[in-house]
Amino acid sequence: MPLWCQDEAGPYQAIPQPGKSWQPEGKPALRPSEYIRGGTAKLLTLFHPKTGEVRAKGVEQATNAILHPWLKEELSALLEALPEVQDPSAPGRQWTDWGWPEETVKLWWFAQTPPPVRLALIWDNLKGHHSPEIVSWCWSRGIALLYTPLGGSWLNLAESVQRILVRRALDGQDLESAEAVIQQLEATVKGWNREPTPFEWGGKRRDRRQRARERRHALPASGGYTKRPVARRIRSSPYQRLTNGNTHAN
In a domain? residue 59: yes
pLDDT mean over 98-110: 71
pLDDT, position 238: 60
In a domain? residue 226: no
In a domain? residue 217: no
Please list the alpha-helical segments (H only) found in the chain: 64-81, 102-109, 132-140, 157-170, 178-194, 203-215, 238-249
Q: Are strands 119-123 and 3-13 parallel, antiparallel or unpaired?
A: parallel
Q: Which of 6, 133, 162, 159 is nearest to 65 (CA)?
A: 133
Q: Give the structural domain span for 68.
A: 3-82+118-194
Answering whether pTM is above 0.85, one says: no
Tens-place pLDDT, residues 31-44: 766 667 778 889 99
Tens-place pLDDT, residues 196-224: 988 887 767 777 777 877 777 777 666 67
Question: Is the CB of residue 38 less than 8 Å from the CB of residue 51?
Answer: no
In a domain? residue 155: yes
The number of distinct structural domains making up the chain is 1
pLDDT, position 79: 92
Q: Return the higher-pLDDT residue of 230 and 12.
A: 12
CATH of the domain at 69: 3.30.420.10
Tens-place pLDDT, residues 127-186: 888 888 898 898 888 898 888 877 666 678 888 899 999 888 888 777 888 898 899 999
Burial class (CB in 10 A: 0-12, 13-18, 19+), 158: buried
Name beta bridge partners: 144: 120
In a domain? residue 143: yes
Q: Is the pLDDT of residue 241 over 80?
A: no
Q: Is the pLDDT of residue 246 over 60?
A: no
Q: Return the higher-pLDDT residue of 172 and 247.
A: 172
In a domain? residue 93: no
